[in-house]
Structure 1
Amino acid sequence: MPPLDTALARVPEPVRSLIVKHQELLKFAVVGGTTFVIDNGVWWALKTTVLDSKPVTAKAIGVLVATIASYVLSREWSFRTRGGRERAHEAALFFLISGIGVGINLVPVWISRYVLHLQVPTVGWYVQEIADFVSGSMLGMLLAMVFRFWAFRKWVFPQENARPRRAATVLRAVRSNSDNDSERVA
């Protein structure tokens, strides 16, 4: 049995059912966490080096790199059992929705920098960096994530069970193990 299945079998039943029921959302959150690290790593590297005077451009590049990783992880893991579209159409919709997500992600950092003027020399460097992180990496990413999850399920991967479903196999294996455990106890 794969390690993930083994770990799931050890989780108490009420929590296990909740995990299985919301596994798509949980996987989407893991992909989001991974792309959060990618996005912020690229953004920080660019805005502290070659794009130090263009933080919004640096953020856009970070989001773009993370979005490419997100497509691969979402298609092959988060929404593995969903589909219903030709791959080219699916990819086009994914990147269109992600492009809208990039815009949503950039709005808070743009407001922070250019409307609220939370940038050097108006404020200190430390305040500028905290404002960039809170507006771009927390608020912007959270708003974009909520929009993307909804839009991906609605338009990109609209049909449930369009591809082979592994979750049912995992659930059967977990139930089988717990049935065997209860037989041993009796």
Structure 2
Amino acid sequence: MRRLIAQLARFGVVGAVGFVVDFGVFNLLRATVLSPEDVHSGPFWAKVVSTTVAIVVNWIGNRYWTFRHQRRSVAAKEGVEFVVVSLGGMVISLGCLAVSHYALGFTSALADNVSGNGIGLVLGTAFRFWLYKTWVYHPDRVEQESARSTEASSSTR
């Protein structure tokens, strides 16, 4: 239980850094090149770009800190799975933003931030942590990879 709490705390710190990156990039893009006054779907694309940048930051933090004891030897495969889960979280966040901005007509910067960076973030975070813990960084998968690489190296001798 203590390890889970420590892991949740590290996940929270990494997520907070990712949030700052996501929030900053989103608002910078929304206020400049992807302003809704200039680009109708600007807030949507600003969120896609900001979340993508945050995914990279979060993968590095989670791989090398939060789940460092559970990371797998094949970083590329783990990275692809991490991105797949993160994209699921992004869809949740984009869905919240789309409903608020386009369906309900709440188009202010505050409304976009509440829906995409508030509600969407909370729902997406719960989704991501669950799948990172149960799939991407699951301890059984790490042990299975270790056993396979040991078998492979002993059979080549």
TM-score, normalised to structure 2's length?
Answer: 0.82
Paired residue type of 1:64: T
User: Any conservation in 2 of the 1:84–1:159 contact (CA below 8 Å)?
Assistant: no
Alignment counterpart, residue 78 of structure 1, candidates 45, 54, 66 = 66
Q: Secondary structure at the match of 2:139?
A: coil
**1:20: Cα distance to partner?**
5.1
1:66 is the counterpart of 2:41: no
Q: Considering only CA atoms, is the larger Rg found in Structure 1 or Structure 2?
A: 1
Q: Decide whether aligned partners of structure 1 residues 68 and 113 sit closer, same or farther in structure 2, where only a CA change above 3 A counts.
A: same
2:126 corresponds to: 146
Alignment counterpart, residue 49 of structure 1, candidates 13, 32, 42 = 32
Deviations 1:126-160 (CA, angstroms, capped at 9, x unpaired): xx122111101110011110000000011110117
2:16 corresponds to: 33
> Cα RMSD over matched residues?
1.9
**1:89: Cα distance to partner?**
1.3
Report how many residues are paired: 138
Q: Decide whether aligned partners of structure 1 residues 20 and 159 sit closer, same or farther in structure 2, where only a CA change above 3 A counts.
A: closer
Moved over 3 A (4+): 18-21
* Structure 2 spans left out of the alignment, 5+ residues: 37-41, 144-157
Which has a greater percent of helix? Answer: 2
User: Any conservation in 2 of the 1:56–1:110 contact (CA below 8 Å)?
Assistant: yes
Instruction: Flag the structure with more relative contact order, 1 or 2, with Cα contacts below 8 A and sequence separation at least 6.
Output: 1
Q: Secondary structure at the match of 1:22?
A: helix
User: Any conservation in 2 of the 1:38–1:65 contact (CA below 8 Å)?
Assistant: yes
Identity of aligned residues (%): 34
In the alignment, the residues of structure 2 paired with residue 96 and residue 20 of structure 1 have an alpha-carbon distance, to the nearest angstrom, of 26
**1:86: Cα distance to partner?**
2.4
**1:29: Cα distance to partner?**
0.4
**1:95: Cα distance to partner?**
0.6
Q: Decide whether aligned partners of structure 1 residues 153 and 110 sit closer, same or farther in structure 2, where only a CA change above 3 A counts.
A: same
TM-score, normalised to structure 1's length?
Answer: 0.69
Q: Secondary structure at the match of 1:118?
A: coil
Deviations 1:95-128 (CA, angstroms, capped at 9, x unpaired): 1111111111111110011110112xxxxxxxx1
Moved more, 137-146 or 18-27: 18-27
Paired residue type of 2:50: G
**1:85: Cα distance to partner?**
5.8
